[in-house]
Amino acid sequence: MGSGREAFVAAAAPFRKLTLDTNIFLYYLANQAPYADLVSDLLLRAIRGDVVLELPGMVQFELLIRPFRSGDPNELAVIHKLVRDHPGIESSSISDAVLQLSAEIRARTKLKPPDALVAGSAMVHRSAAIVSNDRDFYTLEALKDVDFITQGRRRLLVPQLLLIDDFADAGA
Amino acid sequence: MSDDEGAARELNNEEVTRRTYVAEARLAYLVNDEPELVQYVTTKLSTKNQITLPVAMARSLGLAAGDEVDLKLEGDMIQIERRPKTPQEWIQRLRGTMAHVPEWQSKDQIDAWTRAERENWEREWDRGEKPS
């Protein structure tokens, strides 16, 4: 096991719930080494019940775009299996709570709307970290001292960012 | 012989044929005699909507009694797929299944694809009311 892969396993180990961004699932589905190995490690932990991986509604939306563009039923079946039938993966919908909080996150950080929806979903579902390759999520740190209007002026657990590029020699 | 007797005899012959087939399959299974792999077979739906998989087909998927299978309806076909049994099989089930997508041939391409999808939202948002 390469040092990056070990470091990633160690970085993710303390968390019992992680939210995964779209590109993380795509590395795995498209088998892009070495990132697919990192995602496989996470999935193995999830299958064994050591961690729950949240798949936000916004991510499901993006994963479905390609199969609908191609019109390939096999591609659609792959995404449905991932979203609806994979142990350890918890698919969440874009609920009213997610919408409300995501709008507030967007207003406070100017994160892109899809990023805000991923972040909102992570926070509503109490994920401790977001696994992504999008540095924009670092702006969430600014929310640590915010009393959220949508939450009755309460503070929320702000997820950390696990940037997969930080483990660039992963799996080598 | 009346029509009723004829129909009863025909039914009886069908039952004998079915029992023979089941017995042969069971024997082949017990003596571990690998039956010839068949890709197409006709089987009959029972009154409980059950079918019998030929031994060779079940073996080729590594299926054993109690295993779960997924059924997928597609047009006038029903596909049967064995469900993964181990964590490693679960991982291999979907890994690389989208490796054929031209826009996802590298990590950078995947990042660019995702970024483009999201920046489209941003541009559309900005055409409306840009946050001050």
- Give me the pLDDT at residue B96, please: 98
Lowest mean pLDDT among A84-93, B39-48, B87-96: B39-48
Interchain contact, B114 vs A62, CB within 8 Å: yes
Task: Please list the residues that pair with A52 across neighbouring strands.
Answer: A17
More confident residue, A151 or B96: B96
With contact defined as beta carbons under 8 Å apart, do A143 and A158 qualify?
Answer: yes
Average pLDDT over residues B33-40: 68
Per mean pLDDT, which of A15-19, B58-62, B74-78, B125-129 is the most reliable? A15-19
B108 contacts in A (CB within 8 Å)? none
- Measured in angstroms, the CA of A29 and the nearest CA of chain B are apart by 5
- Give me the pLDDT at residue B36, please: 66
Report residue B121 as tokens: 């939202």
Tell me the pLDDT of chain B averaged across its residues. Answer: 82
- The whole-angstrom separation of Cα A86 and Cα B65 is 22
With contact defined as beta carbons under 8 Å apart, do A170 and A34 qualify?
Answer: yes
pLDDT surpassing 50 at residue A47: yes
Helical H runs in A86-134?
96-109, 113-124
CA torsion A84-A88-A91-A96 (nearest 10°) is 150
- Give me the pLDDT at residue A5, please: 87
Residue labelled with tokens 């019992």: A16
Q: What is the pLDDT of residues B97-112, one digit of tens each?
A: 999 999 999 999 999 9
Q: What is the pLDDT of residues A100-113, one digit of tens each?
A: 999 999 999 989 99
Q: What is the pLDDT of residues B55-108, one digit of tens each?
A: 888 888 889 888 999 998 888 999 888 999 899 999 999 999 999 999 999 999
Tell me the pLDDT of chain A averaged across its residues. Answer: 93
B94 contacts in A (CB within 8 Å)? 28-29, 78, 81-82, 86
Which residues of A lie inside 8 Å of B (Cβ-Cβ)? 21-23, 26-32, 35-36, 40, 43-44, 47-48, 62, 65-66, 70, 73, 75, 77-78, 81-82, 85-87, 107, 110, 112-115, 133-134
Residue labelled with tokens 């059924």: B71
Judging by beta carbons within 10 Å of its beta carbon (0-12, 13-18, 19+), is residue B123 exposed, middle or buried?
A: exposed
pLDDT surpassing 70 at residue A2: no
Average pLDDT over residues A66-73: 95
- Give me the pLDDT at residue A172, please: 41
Residue A171 pLDDT class (50, 70, 90 cuts): very low
pTM for this one? 0.81
CA torsion B121-B125-B126-B131 (nearest 10°) is -120
- Measured in angstroms, the CA of B67 and the nearest CA of chain A are apart by 16
User: For residue A137, which of A160, A157, A155, A153 has the smallest C-alpha distance?
Assistant: A160
Interchain contact, A86 vs B74, CB within 8 Å: no
